[in-house]
Structures are given as C-alpha cells and as structure tokens.
Amino acid sequence: MGLLDYLDHRQFPIEEWALVESSVNTAIEGRTETLFAIGNGYFGMRGAPEEGRGGHQNGTFINGFHDTWTIRHAEEAFGFARVGQTIVNVPDAKVIELYVDDEPFDVATAEILRYHRRLDFNDGVLSREIEWRTSSGKRVLVRTQRLVSFTDRHLAVVTYTVTMLDAPGTVLLSSQILNRQDWKDEYATAAHAEALLEDPRQAAAFSRRVLEPRLKHADGPRQLLGYQAANSGMTLAVGVDHGLQTENVWTERGEIEDDQAKHLFKVQARAGTPIELTKTITYHSANGVPVRELADRCNRTLDRINARPIQDVFSRQKHWLADFWDRADVAVDGQPEMQQAIRWNLYQLAQSTARTDGGGIAAKGVSGSGYGGHYFWDTEIYVLPFLTYTSPHVARNALRFRQNMLPAARERAAELNQRGALFPWRTISGLESSAYYAAGTAQYHIDADISHALMQYVSATGDIDFLNRGAIDILIETARMWADLGFWRRPGAGPQTFHIHGVTGPDEYTTVVNDNLYTNVMARANLQAAVRQVRRLREECPEAYASMVQRVDLDDDEIQEWEAAAEAMHIPFDEDLGIHPQDAQFLEKELWDLENTPASKRPLLLHFHPLVIYRFQVIKQADVVLAMFLRGSEFSAEQKRANFEYYDALTTGDSTLSASTQSIIAAEVGYRDLALDYFRAALFVDLGDLHHNTADGVHVASTGGVWSALVFGFGGMRDHAGSLSFDPRLPEGWESLTFRITTRGSRMRVQIRQGSVSFALEDGAEVKLRVRAEAITVYPGMPAEVSLQDDRPDLQGAPTTSDIEGTHRGDGSVITASIPTITLHEDQIQHAN
C-alpha cells in the first residue's frame, strides 16, 4: 500500500517540520479539525477556523473538565457503573468573525484565491494565510496565528491580521467567547447527533444545559465569563483581552451575555494598510474553587502576559519545542513523507501530555471529545514508554495521577468483592464509568498495566524515591487484588497452580475468559514487583517501610502469598501447536475466516453482535503479542515466532492499539516488510483517517505506539529488568533511524544505519547496554559504533488463517476456518455492486 492511500499530498504537501494544507476541503473538515488541533495537555482547541462557522465539532477542551450524568442501564445489576462522565466543550474563546463591507468571511463558502494553513512543529504555531475575493471583487489578505502555550499552561494567543489589498472597505472584527456546549440549536448538526447514537466509540451527548452561568465581567477590551458544570460542580473561567494595531481609523464596543461575550472593532480600512488584532486567551478551571477566584486567576494571567510584548510568548513556545525535539525527535533519513508523519505523531504526544501536570492523559488528549475525554490503560502501555524515555518528569506526573486515584480504586475493588485496589477501566474522576462490563470492568489487567508502567519508569529513571514516598502503594494494592481475584487448584500430584478466571484481556473480541495469557503474565510481574519492592523497602528504608505498613496494613503472610501466587501462576501453553493460547478456551473456538470477510463488514464490531464475535477465534487487538512485547524475556524466540504467526493471522486490527505492537513483534521475529506495513498503519491512523473516526480526536495511544514501533521495533530496544539492549532491524530503503533516549538522567543519541548502530551521550553519565550479545558502555564524549550482521531469517508476506487451517491440535482435532453467515440485505447487495 502506497502512502498516497493515506494522505493526499496535493492537498497536504510534504514538509518535514510541519503539517501543511494548501486548499480547503470541507468534505474532511472533521478530520482536519483534529489534525490541526493545538493544545498543551491542559487545554486544547480544535482546528476549526477562527471565523467559527460550520465545522464538525468546533471544540475547546480542558483536560478533565467534565460533567456527570446518571447511567441508566436498560437492565440493571449490582455493581454496574452509575456515574457517567463526559468532557465538556468549554466556551470557545478563539472566535474572531470577519466582515468586509458587511459580507461575512467563511472559508467554506468564500472565493479563495490562495490558501495556506500550517501547523509548525518548531514554532508551535498554527497559522493561515488566505487571499479572499469578496463578492464585490475586493481582494482581502487574511493572516492568522494561533498558539496554545507549552510554557504558560493557561494561555492561548490568536493574532488576526487583515489587509485590504486593492480597495478600501469597512472591516468589522467580531471577537467572541461563545459557549457552544449550551448553544446547541444553532451549532450542532443533526447528522452529528445521529452519529452519536450509532457509533459506540463516540461520547455520550448531553441533552440539557451543562454550564450554568456564574459570572460575566467586562472591562474595556477585557472580558470574562465564569461557569459551573451543572452536575459535577466543576468551575471554570475564561478571559480574553484584545489589542488592535492599525493605522486605519477604528472604533470598538463590547457586549456581554451569559453564553456569549463580544468585542467588536470597526475599521475604515484603506487599501494596503494592515489591521492586526491580538487576542490573549486564558482558561482556569477547578474542582472546588469558586468561579470568582478563577476569574481573579484569569485577570492575573492576562495582566502578566500583557505586561510584555506578545512576541515573548512566541519565543518561549519555540524555545520549549527546541528542548522537546532535543529529547524526543526521531529522524528517518530519506523518507520525507514518513518523516513528516512521524513528527506529527510526536508533536501530538507533546500536545497531549506537556502540561497535564497533575491530570491524566485522555485517549484523545485535548484534541476532541471522543471516548468522552476518558483515561484508559492506553496511557500506561502506549504513552508512558515515550514519556519515561524522553520526558521522565511528565511520566512521573502521570503516575502520581494514578496514585491519587487509589482511594477510588480501593472502593471499586470492594464493590467488586475484591481486596486491594481495582483501577477503573475508563474514568475522569476516578469512578468507573464503563457501562459495558464485558469489555470494560472485566479488563482487570489495567491494574497490572499501571504497575508495569510504574516499574518501567522506576527502572529507566532510577527514581526509587518515588516508590519509597508512596507510589509503592500502587504495587501493593494491585498485588493484593490479584492474589484475591485468583484461586488455587490442587491437583492430586504435581505442584499447585494459580488461576485467574472471568476476566477480559486487551483483545475486546474475546471477553470474560479464564486464564487470559496477557493477564496472567502481567499479573505475575505485578506480584513479583510488589514482593521485590516491599522487601527492598524493608531493607533499605525501614522508616518508609514502617509508614507503608501502617498505610496499607500489610503483613509477611500476604507477601508470601503473592510470591507463591506469582510462582504458581498458570501460563497456558499448547504443546502441539507450540503456542500460548490467548486464554484457557481460546483454541476450542471456530476460526473466523478473515481473508474472506469483505471490507464492507469491517470493523467487525460495527457489523456483528458481540455474541457472534466472541464465539470465534478472531482478535481486535494484540493480546498475546502485546504480552510478548512487554514481558519479552519470558518467552523463547521460537514461541514468539509461533505465537506471532498464529495470532497475526487472526488479528483484525479493528483497534488502533494493534498495529504498533504487531509491528514491534513482526520486526523482532523477522517479518521485516510486515513490520513496516504495520508501522505505516499506525503512523497514518489519523493522518489517513484509517479508522474513520479521526474527527473525534487524535488517537493518542497510537501516536505513542508510533514512537514505540520506531524505538522498540526498528530500533530493537528492550529494557527488561533494568538491562538496556538493542537488536535493531532497519526497514529496507531506510538510510538511517536516529532517536534519543533518556535513561537514569543520561540522554543518549542512537543512530541505526543498515549494518551498524552508534551511540553517543548528549548529556549525563555513562550508559551500559548490550547490542545483541555484545556488552557496551557508552561514555560521555566517546560515541560507540557497533556493526551489525543480520543472520536472522527475513520472513516474507504475512501469516493468514489458511496457514492455521488444517493444523492439528492437542486434542487430536484439526482446526477449520469458517465465516459466520453474512446476511446481505437488499440494499447491501446493491451497494456491493
């Protein structure tokens, strides 16, 4: 598949350090609103134009700012989640409407002579340059800049410059704050409302007022609006200030209402004399702080910014990004299309995480309302590796966020009749918000995922102090949950085994099973880490140990119980097929014949009832394969290849979490081309809208997966048990792959070429590592290069269900593939023609 399948470069010309758009295409405006969204992890603005009309979802989102609603299950049961949480589209402060001689400017319908939009990865600015011809034939040049600041957490800036090119005219700029959330009749389209009902991946819509007006205040060109979310009680203030620079004659006036503040500039513009409006914007939100206090904070932010030239904000942005790229850039020589896409993905990671500070990292970051603005396990497994190895302080914040969620997780465990803590499958506030337990609450593995990310962070950074100061409670309460959830079986002879029943693994096409391989492998690691860290703490920091024992009421018996459970953990393995069954019964099921499932029937979840899907061997996303990545040292090379070949054939990739992991293991077991195909599928998830829902926001986990596929996949980096190693496998046609990782305070540049890998310290003390079997120490100022001779198999093609079909299984039966009856209705048949 060529890259042109993914991104039309006539509309989006290739640039290595920017995403550029050269024409307006309203047919994909939902997608471009996401691709050109800007944010800093605390808040974000979608890429809708300043002029504010039309659009798919003209959204502004503050991380974690949500309202609640009561989940009404059509049929109730004990312990079902009750509190729905949905991120709120907060008032839109970027609006600047432009009228020339009373004619409104709307990019979607105007006569555009020239159009250039650019999200610059170095400047951190979204800019437009548009030449418009009005219906009376006047040419108008519109230049805009928009940034959400990485350095000033609560700040955004919009500059809006208008120049009448060849005739004078009356230019009206109507700068607004608009509460779109409660302005539905005018802005929401019926099609969007319909889509919300049809697609389970979309956010639940509110059908009532969400933001109660609490404050409105205007002081000349400065305007403030304050709100409180009706049910959650969260508070919010948004403030704007304006500065107009022009040599034309102008007047201004303001209006303010509950859901809209307007400041209007009326300019008698001469030809060639620019009008430049600078709008500073600030958002402050809280849980428990009065709106009035937030308004004060808005005033202070605006005062501080206005006290210095606005260019300072732009310089700080650029400086911050320079530092970011120093830590996080991944360069691929000779592949400009991919290079652009890689940087766009990495840039999204910055935009989703930079200033979350104490908050979580949502599935869509702050780029859209998909998945209701919720936090999932995606963060820990797909995003934290990037943060841990490039921005450890951000990783630490994300883990502290989970630590702060422990009390809610303890309550949830009790509700599900377990000891310890059970982290919610999806949440904003810490309360479980998943209304479909089979693919939600049943994914107990989230406990192990969080523990995994915590230990990965500690191991990579050496920040043992973080554990000692309380993060160890996460390990303890999750280990406790596993020991209580599982149970022992006592065979007449042979050692006892420990089993975990009735859970769902990462693969959501197989639910509520016994001994899910991923879960058992990860739970084992979780238990082991808890045992190890508790014992270490007792030895190294008796005081911290004593305080911990008091906090979590721990005794020695319990630690021994964890150790025993880990040791005896049942890891299903099928000797005949030489593979790890995804769960105890997985191999008993019919094979779904994916090769013969038409594209019109995908993704399966939108075309088949869950009961149908669950009945087959068919996979939404990497499950055993993910376990082989995260706990790679616990599988032999032979097992890895056999598992990969078996499961790859069954994997639909209907989840965007799949491709990057499949790419990493494909690279490891020797499917070099397939690894590249999967990498592209991850790389263009959003740029190519491969899952048809980019309009709902960036797939942040996939952007993390892109980094992982580059570093862990092609770079072959592993960090099992604190031992850093590299086994690179550069795709054919790539001249080089260059990335930086930060480990235990040292920043190291890694460059892979065909036939060699080199390491250079850019900061910090020496780093020990291995390249395949060879041990190396990289010292400051002394780059090391190792030549690589690839003697591993280079496997071609991709495994398919027909490879599996006909295989003999342990019970002597032969695996056969079938495809569920597909009933084509009249209209579908016609559509198929």
Single residue of 251, 311, 789, 821 touching a second copy by CB under 8 A: 821
Mention every residue, 6+ apart, whose C-beta is less than 8 A from residue 797. Answer: 673, 674
Q: Please tell me the distance from the alpha carbon of residue 69 to that of residue 109, in angstroms, as a whole number.
A: 38
Place of tokens 């459970």: 565
Alpha-carbon distance of 502 to 513, in angstroms, equals 5
CB–CB of 7/339 below 8 Å? no
Which of 292/808 has CB closer to a second copy? Answer: 808
CB-nearer residue toward a second copy: 40 or 519: 519
Distance, CA of 744 to CA of 463 (rounded, Å): 8
> Residues 685, 677: contact at Cβ < 8 Å?
no
From residue 187, give the alpha-carbon distance in Å to each of 184, 275, 783, 806: 5, 29, 58, 56
Residues 520 and 566: their CA atoms lie apart, in Å, by 9
Q: How far apart are CA 357 and CA 713, in angstroms?
A: 29
* 584 binds a second copy per the rule CB under 8 A: yes
Q: Is 816 in the site for a second copy (CB under 8 A)?
A: yes
> Is position 197 an interface residue for a second copy (rule: CB under 8 A)?
yes
Name the 3-class secondary structure at 573: coil
Q: Can you tell me which of 137, 288, 491, 495 binds a second copy, judged by CB under 8 A?
A: 491
Q: Does 77 bind a second copy (CB under 8 A)?
A: yes
Minimum distance from CB of 418 to a second copy (Å)?
6
Closer Cβ to a second copy, 412 or 641, answer by number = 412
- Scanning 54-62, 198-206, 337-345, 391-399 for contacts with a second copy by CB under 8 A, the matching segment is 198-206
From 27-35, 213-221, 321-329, 416-424, span contacting a second copy (CB under 8 A): 416-424
One character per residue 593-632, x = contact with a second copy (rule: CB under 8 A): ------------xxxxxxxx-xx-----------------
Give yes or no for residue 192 binding a second copy (CB under 8 A).
Answer: no
Q: Which stretch, 10-18, 586-594, 620-628, 702-710, contacts a second copy (CB under 8 A)?
A: 586-594
Q: Are 246 and 276 in contact (CB under 8 A)?
A: yes
Annotated active-site residue 508? The verdict is yes
Name the residue nearer to a second copy (CB basis): 288 or 494: 494
For residue 439, count other CB atoms closer than 10 A to its CB: 21
Which residues does residue 272 pair with via DSSP β-bridges, in sequence order? none
141 makes contact with a second copy (CB under 8 A): no
Shortest distance (Å) from residue 362 CB to a second copy: 17
| Single residue of 434, 519, 621, 663 touching a second copy by CB under 8 A | 434
Residues 668 to 697: which contact a second copy by CB under 8 A? Answer: none
Q: Which stretch binds a second copy (CB under 8 A): 481-489, 721-729, 736-744, 772-780?
A: 481-489
Binding pattern for the stretch 495-534 against a second copy, x by CB under 8 A and - elsewhere:
------xx---------x-x--------------------
Q: In whole angstroms, give the CA distance from residue 722 to residue 616.
A: 39
Contact call for residue 311 and a second copy (CB under 8 A): no
- Selection from 402, 400, 453, 437 nearest residue 423 by Cα: 402
Catalytic residue among 508, 558, 561, 563: 508
**Position among 357, 415, 634, 677 found at the interface with a second copy (CB under 8 A):** 415
Listed ranges 6-14, 74-82, 666-674, 716-724: which one lies at the site for a second copy (CB under 8 A): 74-82
Which residue lies nearer to a second copy by CB, 71 or 141? Answer: 71
What mask, x for binding a second copy by CB under 8 A, covers residues 441 to 460?
xx------------------
**Is the CB of 335 or the CB of 497 nearer to a second copy?**
497
Q: Are 725 and 633 in contact (CB under 8 A)?
A: no
Do 354 and 366 contact (CB within 8 A), yes or no? no
Q: What does the chain come to in residues?
A: 833
Cβ contacts of residue 516 below 8 Å, gap of 6+? 445, 500, 503, 504, 505, 582, 583, 623
> Least distance to a second copy from the beta carbon of 496, Å?
9
CB 7 within 8 A of CB 20: no
- Cα-based distances in Å from 540 to 352, 471, 663, 733: 37, 16, 40, 51
826 binds a second copy (CB under 8 A): no
- Asked if residue 620 lies in contact with residue 610, where contact means CB atoms within 8 angstroms, the answer is no
Among 10, 27, 75, 102, binds a second copy (CB under 8 A): 75
For a second copy, the binding residue among 249, 271, 546, 822 (CB under 8 A) is: 822
Out of 27, 493, 721, 829, the residue judged to bind a second copy by CB under 8 A: 493
Residue 568 near a second copy by CB under 8 A? no
How big is the site for a second copy, counted in residues (CB under 8 A)? Answer: 70
Is the C-alpha dihedral spanning 569, 574, 575, 580 positive or negative?
negative
Q: 4 or 606, CB closer to a second copy?
A: 606
Q: Please give the DSSP secondary-structure letter assigned to residue 246.
A: E
Smallest gap from Cβ 596 to a second copy, in A, equals 14
Whole-angstrom distance, CA of residue 107 vs CA of residue 115: 9
Interaction of residue 72 with a second copy, rule CB under 8 A: yes
Of 242, 251, 250, which Cα lies nearest the Cα of 274?
A: 250
d(CA 761, CA 294): 45
What angle (nearest 5°) sits at the alpha carbon of residue 269, between those of residues 267 and 270? 160
For position 421 contacting a second copy by CB under 8 A, the verdict is no
Among 200, 243, 598, 783, the residue binding a second copy under the rule CB under 8 A is 200
Known catalytic residues?
A: 508
List of residues contacting a second copy (CB under 8 A): 71-81, 84, 197-200, 204, 414-419, 434-438, 440-442, 484, 487-494, 501-502, 512, 514, 584-585, 588-590, 605-612, 614-615, 808, 811-814, 816, 818, 820-823
